[in-house]
Amino acid sequence: MVSDRQNSKLAKSAGIYLHIPFCIVKCPYCDFYSIENEQDDFDSRESFVDALTAEIRNGNLNETKISTIYFGGGTPSMLDGDQVDRILSCLRDNFDVAADAEITLELNPGEIDIGRLTYYKESGVNRLSMGAQSFQPEELKTLGRLHLPEDIFTAAELIEKSGFDDFNIDLLYGVPGQTLDSVAENVLSAINIMPNHISVYSLTYEKGTPFYSMKAEGLLKPVDENLERVMSERVLEILRDAGYNRYEISNYSLAGFESKHNSSYWNGSPYYSFGPSAHSFDGRARWWNIRDVRSYIDKINSNESPIAGKESLSREKLIFERIFLRLRTSSGLHIPSFESEFELIFSERFETQLIELDKMEKDGSQPIYSYVDSYLRLTDNGLRYSDAIAELFVP
Ligand code: SF4
């Protein structure tokens, strides 16, 4: 149960996520929902935009101020400027979108042109996120990516020419066959492009993906765990030296360019999502749409709800999620706010966990957490074990 006090504190500002389920081809490691170009044609994208705008029109967010909008996917840059414009106009017509809202759109190198980028900019998109992943041709091939390293540089030039000064580059490490040197080269190449935000994720093998089966069948050799740990340390070192602050376990930015949208997930703020497979969270419950884009369009066209499931989060689960998410960030968990929101005394409620944390710290050579200015934070060393530390707090 969530107390009345918590209810009254439900934020009046929220983010919006839009799931655009189209990709030219499906990358073998990716478990986000999307359909490949072969199964898609322009008409299906038009029908999808019609359905998405209809779902938005049916949404009721009362007086919630929308502070961020995120076009994710899939490959949102497969939408025309006109289609993005229609979606944004629909959001503004139906919700209270802040004039200075952060509006991000994901794109792939090699799949954009200046006309499309300019249209996005004129429509109000003010932040781009480019899925570069690697600057090494062999690694891009292993990952099943369609682009070449030179496409990343061309995309960066187009981004600059079209007037975007706020953009992110996504990179992956732990790619089979990757070396420590190539990880360092990838990060340095990204820095040379001068984005104000860089996200560096370790490759994961998600159930249901071709990479998962290939790993199980011994056809793909994952990078050794120790090497992967050294890679993550090298990434951190290079980015810090270049002035990028690690503000979340996988996210780095120049001062003032942290992603507001992603930060709101880590703050436990509400977000409302539209499109197939999209998940929403209002501060108390989570719900999600059906995955299949054709069924999604059919449901909307028949005036049926596209929601496939809903989960009310218990107070214990909300507490755990907040601790788990905040401990992944560099600012950490502000104990007085947490205590006031959940009406508990942290040191009493989590006495056992704090003893375990101290034990873990004594067993290792370096500190894993700090408690300064009322914030509980994991150190760089602690962030390496963030999953194990979060486990301690599982209800
Ligand atoms: S990684 Fe990106 S481009 Fe590749 S399938 Fe997933 S969403 Fe599409």
DSSP strand pairing (22-23 vs 35-36):
parallel
Q: What is d(CA 84, CA 173) in angstroms, rounded to the nearest whole number?
A: 31
Residue 74 beta carbon below 6 angstroms from any ligand 1 atom: yes
The conformational region for residue 283 under phi > 0 = left, psi -120 to 50 = alpha, else beta, is left
Q: What is the mean pLDDT of residues 125-144?
A: 98
> Strands 96-107 and 127-133, how do they pair?
parallel
pLDDT one-digit tens code per residue, 238-253 = 999 999 999 999 999 9
**For the CA of 108, the nearest atom of ligand 1:** 3
Residue 271, token pair as written in the block: 């977000």
Q: What are the structural domains, with CATH classification, of the chain?
A: 4-266 (3.80.30.20), 315-392 (1.10.10.920)
For residue range 273-291, list pLDDT tens digits in order: 999 999 999 999 999 999 9
The string of pLDDT tens digits covering residues 55-90 is 999 998 878 999 999 999 999 999 999 999 999 999
Using a pLDDT cut of 70, give the percent of the chain over it. Answer: 96
Shortest-distance atom of ligand 1 to CA 133? 1
Is residue 132 over pLDDT 70? yes
pLDDT of residue 3: 43
User: Is the distance from the beta carbon of residue 72 to the nearest atom of ligand 1 less than 6 Å?
Assistant: no
Given a cut of 80, is residue 363 above it in pLDDT?
no
Best mutation site among 31, 33, 34, 134 for ligand 1, i.e. most ligand atoms within 8 A of its Cβ? 34
pTM: 0.94
The single-letter code of the amino acid at 368 is I
Coil, strand or helix at 252:
strand
The continuous run of DSSP H or E covering 378 comes out as: strand 375-378
Q: What torsion, rounded to 10 degrees, do the Cα atoms 309, 315, 316, 320 define?
A: 80
pLDDT of 1 over the 70 cut: no
Buried b vs exposed e over 68-102: b needs ≥16 C-beta within 10 Å? bbbbbbbbbbbbbbebbbbbbebbeebbbbeeebb
Q: Residue 87: its pLDDT value, please?
A: 98
Q: Among 35, 70, 75, name the best residue to mutate to test ligand 1's pocket (greatest count of ligand atoms within 8 A of Cβ).
A: 75
Q: Comparing 31-40, 231-240, 348-357, which segment has the lowest mean pLDDT?
A: 31-40
CA distance 388 to 395: 14
Could you tell me the distance, in angstroms and rounded to a whole number, from the CA of residue 35 to the centre of ligand 1?
A: 10
Atom 2, ligand 1: residue with shortest CA distance: 74
For the chain, give the mean pLDDT: 94
- Kindly state the average pLDDT of the residues 369-379: 95
Residue 376: its H or E element: strand 375-378
Q: How far is the CA of 199 from the centre of ligand 1 (A)?
A: 15
Q: Of all protein residues, whose CA lies closest to atom 6 belonging to ligand 1?
A: 30
Write out pLDDT tens, residues 140-163. 999 999 999 999 999 999 999 999
What mean pLDDT do residues 190-208 have? 97
Q: How far apart are CA 318 and CA 268, in angstroms?
A: 9
Beta pairing partners, 197: 168, 253
Question: From ligand 1's centre to the CA of 147, what distance in Å?
Answer: 12
Q: Is 108 in the pocket of ligand 1 (CB under 6 A)?
A: yes
9-23, 101-115, 299-313: lowest mean pLDDT where?
9-23
> 119 Cβ partners below 8 Å, 6+ apart?
80, 81, 82, 84, 85
Tell whether the model's pLDDT for residue 2 goes beyond 80: no
Is the pLDDT assigned to residue 6 strictly greater than 80? no
